[in-house]
Homo-oligomer: A and B are copies of this chain.
Amino acid sequence: MKLNTITFTLKKGAGSRYTQLYDTICRDILQGKMKKGDQLPSIRNAAKQLNLSRTTIENAYQRLLTEGLIIAQPQRGYFVDADETQSELRKEIMNTSVLTQKEETMIDLRTSSIDVSAFDTTVWLHYIKLVLQNHTWLTSYGDSQGEFLLRKAIQKYSYAMRGVLCKEDQIVIGANFQSLLYLICSLYEGKKVIGMEKSGFRQAEQVFTDCGFTIIYLDSDEEGISITNLKTKELGMLYINSASCGTKKRPLHSKRRKALLDYVNEQNIILLEDDHNGELRYQTKLRPAVQGFDSHGNVIYMRSFSKLLLPSIRMSFMVLNQDMMTRYLKKKRNYHPSASKLEQLTLAHYLMDGHMEKQIRQLRKRYEAKSSLMIKLLETYFPDKLYLLDESNLQVLLYMGNEKELSFYTETAEKQRILVQGTEQNVIALSFASVAEETLVKAVVSLAKIW
């Protein structure tokens, strides 16, 4: 352990004195000139040696302390404390400066994005400004259940658009679907067995697994979950995507809805309804949500706004049944809000002023045109393949048969700079949501050539 003197010359225009001193010592440590355990001069001595003020030395030492490069030992002084093995990482972090977003030059036919040109960012920005201007709204975390204003707006919207019947007290807002599912699992007291169609909604399955649930896959027919098959299982909860059911990916028909409701009421178990873009119909007729038909209080209704607004705005909500609501209110203090209050209040005003209905009319027009184009393209370029429009997921499913492995399709497409996603049994999901019409033509023509 040796006492170091600091060799240091002040340069004009090279930053403040303390920064220059910090830079010098930092470099000496990272280059190994000063080693772990070496002592630095005291603040008084350093000030004297270098002809600088004590404050300058203190500020430089403080920054070195904060970054963990040196350590202060009471009555003894300052010592180098940096682990040499981490010098490279330190240099890397310090040299991070200009940031660039990675360029995307691929055609993305996966399901992760939407047509943003249909979204009027000016309107959204207008409401953000409005909310930011009102300081008192922003000082606090807000209601962990979600803002009252937004819950009122959602109550009204969900009734008008989906036939959902609830009090605003039953509504809980969350940043995403998963945070709401964790909450449901946290409140749930029944048998930890959940039944669902094998749809590949892995994010939901992950939550149930984390919370100790057993997942049972149920057989489906054209209309959705097969009631005969369902009756052979012993479930605590039943999960359905009511906007895209069964092998035909259609919204739940009233007959099957009744059969499912009869089943859950008889068994007295919870029906978890995921109404995924239920109102986003552009080729078939709207069907209301199951929740509005639940007279026994066994349905929990859930959904996200991701594909109606911007996917980059994270906002989901659920409507609890009476039982879960009572339990929630008792434990409410145990949960933090997850959705941004600023975005919640922005959305509340957006909904109340009727912009969502306008937005959905826009989206319907666009997706009607795009899906029709997509179907025509597939009929022309893949005449011998079966396909299916999965309306609420904004994608066409193309059945490729068993000749080749799924990876053949995804990999050859990627070579053409086209990203596609495969589902089980060699089905390729082609999402048309975010892609311009001329690009869709180009993409399908390319895929037809290579496949």
Contact = CB atoms under 8 A, between A and B. Distances in A.
Interface of A: 62-63, 65-68, 71, 83, 85-86, 89-90, 92-94, 96, 99, 101-102, 104, 108, 112-117, 119, 121, 124-125, 128-129, 132-133, 135-142, 148-149, 152-153, 155-156, 159-163, 165-167, 175-179, 182, 185-186, 202-203, 205-207, 210-212, 254, 285-288, 292-293, 295, 306, 310-314, 331, 333-343, 348, 352, 434
Contact of A165 (B62, B89, B115, B313): B89
A293 B68 contact: yes
- Report copies per complex: 2
Contacts of A175: 175-176, 179, 314, 338-340
Contact of A312 (B125, B133, B138, B176): B138
28 contacts: A62-B285, A65-B286, A65-B288, A67-B163, A68-B163, A89-B167, A90-B159, A93-B159, A94-B159, A96-B152, A99-B149, A101-B137, A104-B136, A113-B140, A121-B133, A124-B132, A175-B175, A175-B339, A178-B179, A182-B207, A186-B206, A203-B335, A210-B211, A211-B211, A312-B342, A313-B341, A313-B342, A340-B340
B68 A292 contact: yes
Contacts of A99: 149, 152-153, 348, 352
Contacts of A342: 310, 312-313, 343
B159 A67 contact: yes
A67 B288 contact: yes
Contacts of A101: 137, 148-149
> Which label, helix, strand, loop or mixed, suits the secondary structure of the A interface?
helix
